[in-house]
């Protein structure tokens, strides 16, 4: 009886170790534990990264290495990709449907010691994810810009990714003209990306427009702000415009055309 008790205590001690969660947050993982992975938007994918190596437990109490990890019991409409076999770090991805309603969701992740070859035992924990449509915001400055015909006007844009996963966002402009200005921007999880976005017009006028930013993961992750482009001709602007586009002057005026562009570069 005494020997059986000692054996049982050794077995419990061997299985009392924890795994290390590396991403999207750091945490110790034990069987039955609930791990909050943070917030993502509809259609987005959260990466779960686990260190397969443990320093305790196993056959000789000195640890070992787990073989792979799998996701199960997913919410309705969700998908997952299991880790590959024998990865240095086990990667499991869980993806929400593009129309997932806001709320809290859970899935099971099991880290597997194949055939219990190292006597580590499997570790199954619950991954908790919050779906919110408010995972992105942005700002634009200035909201009113003026440029000459053919002159690019620059808008400063700052995108804030508030979610626990990285994403790609498409930037576009909608207005009275059929603008062709689109740009795709990658923003890592919980970071801010700042960049310049250029627009231009060819005819004098005022063009109220809407700057839209939409996630490639889901159209439900989107925001927009109003901007106004004023195209206005002036002599200096005409000089600078000679640096853009193709020549529109007759051949005998090409020298003057080139000279105007040179002047604008030297003094503009």
153 assigned to some structural domain: yes
Domain around 195: 136-233
pLDDT of 9 reads 41
DSSP string, 177-195: S----EEEEEE-TT-EEEE
Same domain, 14 and 93: yes
In this structure, what is the dihedral angle of CA atoms 235, 240, 246, 249, given to the nearest 10 degrees? Answer: 30
**H or E segment to which residue 8 belongs:** helix 2-14
239 assigned to some structural domain: no
Spatial separation of the C-alpha atoms in residues 224 and 258, rounded to whole Å: 40
Burial of 103 (0-12, 13-18, 19+ CB in 10 A): exposed
Please tell me what DSSP assigns to residue 101. P
In Å, how far from its chain's centre is CA 85?
26
Same domain, 105 and 30: yes
Same domain, 94 and 173: no
Same domain, 13 and 89: yes
238 assigned to some structural domain: no
pLDDT value at 263 more than 90: no
Q: How far is CA 66 from CA 56, 119, 258, in A?
A: 12, 10, 69
- Residue 216: closest CA among 190, 191, 175, 186: 186
Q: How many domains does the chain have?
A: 2
Same domain, 96 and 159: no
In Å, how far from its chain's centre is CA 240?
38
- Final residue before a domain boundary, out of 76, 107, 131: 131
CA triplet 120, 47, 38: central angle to 5 degrees? Answer: 100
Tell me the pLDDT tens digit for each residue of 150-184. 888 999 999 999 999 999 999 999 887 777 789 99
Same domain, 215 and 153: yes
Token pair of 23, please? 């991403």
- Name the more confident of 8 and 229: 229
Same domain, 117 and 198: no
pLDDT of 8 reads 45
CB 84 within 8 A of CB 93: no
- What's the mean pLDDT when you consider all of the chain? 85
- Final residue before a domain boundary, out of 131, 152, 184: 131
The domain that contains 210 carries what CATH number? 2.60.40.10
Report the half-sphere exposure of 185 (CA within 13 A, side-chain side): 25
51 assigned to some structural domain: yes
Same domain, 192 and 120: no
Residues 246-262 as b or e (16 or more Cβ within 10 Å = b): eeeeeeeeeeebeebbe
CB 161 within 8 A of CB 141: no
263 assigned to some structural domain: no
Same domain, 75 and 146: no
Same domain, 95 and 140: no
- Name the more confident of 123 and 150: 123
Tell me the pLDDT tens digit for each residue of 35-84. 999 999 999 999 999 999 999 888 888 889 999 999 999 999 999 999 99
pTM of the entire predicted model: 0.79
Same domain, 155 and 217: yes
246 assigned to some structural domain: no
């Amino acid at each position: 009886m005494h020997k059986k008790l000692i054996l049982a205590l050794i077995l419990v001690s061997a299985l009392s170790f924890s795994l290390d969660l590396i991403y999207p947050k750091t945490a110790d993982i034990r069987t039955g534990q609930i791990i909050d992975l943070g917030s993502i938007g509809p259609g987005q994918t959260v990466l779960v990264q686990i260190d397969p190596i443990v320093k305790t437990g196993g056959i000789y109490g000195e640890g070992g290495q787990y073989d792979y990890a799998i996701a199960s019991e997913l919410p309705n409409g969700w998908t997952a990709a299991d880790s590959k076999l024998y990865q240095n770090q086990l990667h499991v991805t869980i993806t929400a449907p593009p129309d997932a309603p806001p709320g809290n969701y859970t899935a099971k992740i099991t880290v597997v010691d194949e055939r219990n070859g190292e006597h580590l035992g499997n570790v199954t924990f619950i991954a908790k994810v919050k779906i919110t449509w408010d995972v992105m915001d942005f700002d634009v400055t200035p909201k009113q810009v003026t440029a000459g015909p053919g002159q690019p006007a620059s808008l400063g844009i700052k995108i804030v990714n508030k979610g626990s996963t990285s994403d790609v966002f498409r930037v576009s402009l909608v207005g009275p003209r059929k603008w062709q200005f689109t740009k795709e921007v990658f923003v890592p999880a919980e970071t801010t990306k700042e960049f310049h976005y250029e627009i231009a017009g060819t005819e004098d006028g005022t063009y109220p427009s809407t700057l839209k930013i939409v996630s490639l993961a889901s159209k439900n992750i989107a925001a927009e702000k109003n901007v106004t482009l004023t195209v206005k001709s002036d002599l200096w602007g005409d000089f600078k415009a000679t640096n853009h586009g193709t020549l529109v002057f007759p051949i005998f005026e090409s020298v003057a055309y080139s000279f105007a562009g040179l002047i604008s570069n030297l003094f503009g």
